[in-house]
Amino acid sequence: MSEQSTASQVAAVVQGRQVSEFGEFAPEAVRGGVLRVTEAGEEVLHRRCADVGPDMLGGSELGALVDDMFRTMYAAEGVGLAANQVGVDLRVFVYDCPDDEGVRHVGHVVNPVLDERDVDDAVVVEAEGCLSVPGPHADLGRAEHATVRGVDRDGEPVVVSGSGFFARCLQHETDHTVGRVYVDRLSKRERKRVLKRMEEMREGVLERREERAGELSEELAVS
């Protein structure tokens, strides 16, 4: 998911648990590398991803993937990223996203399942963007609150809840793991408009990502 706004960070909640201190970047990013971000239309983005099996939990392959995803997300200046957005057919996403109160939420979820929306929970229409749709945003309704359940890279249970912008992020990233890009939720006319605008903006966005990847290497080297 692409960043919409910058909120003051008054606390950090890591893997659903509040911590008193946290660095500018998740520590995974120091170990990871920048991968290519897939774009709308590529097959891996438009089908349900494979579940992460028990044999991968706690292993180096999954750990390296999470590290790379954090680094790639920061290089693309996003607040969330799913595995199929780096071409990997697995149900995993990472996030570093503020909520509407400025609380920073950081973590990853393996095999995420989104709780059903409470019928009394409001649906909020706001601008939404995606790293796999480089450039444009479009108004889209999402539930005001969201809870995602899954496990972490070691197989330990994870429950992550949020509201506002962070709830939107959780819903957006879980959508990715089942093969749905946010433009799939738009009307046919709006989807066509957004994809046309993406083609117009794409080159500049990708140039900025390459520039940011270089800046990030320097920042992480001294952090």
CB 168 within 8 A of CB 144: no
Active site residue 173: yes
**Can you give the C-alpha Rg of the chain in angstroms?**
16
Q: How many CA atoms lie within 13 A of 219 on its CB side?
A: 15
Please tell me which residue in 173, 200, 210, 218 is annotated as part of the active site.
173
Q: Is 60 exposed, middle or buried (0-12, 13-18, 19+ CB in 10 A)?
A: exposed
CB 36 within 8 A of CB 87: yes
The residues that are catalytic are 173
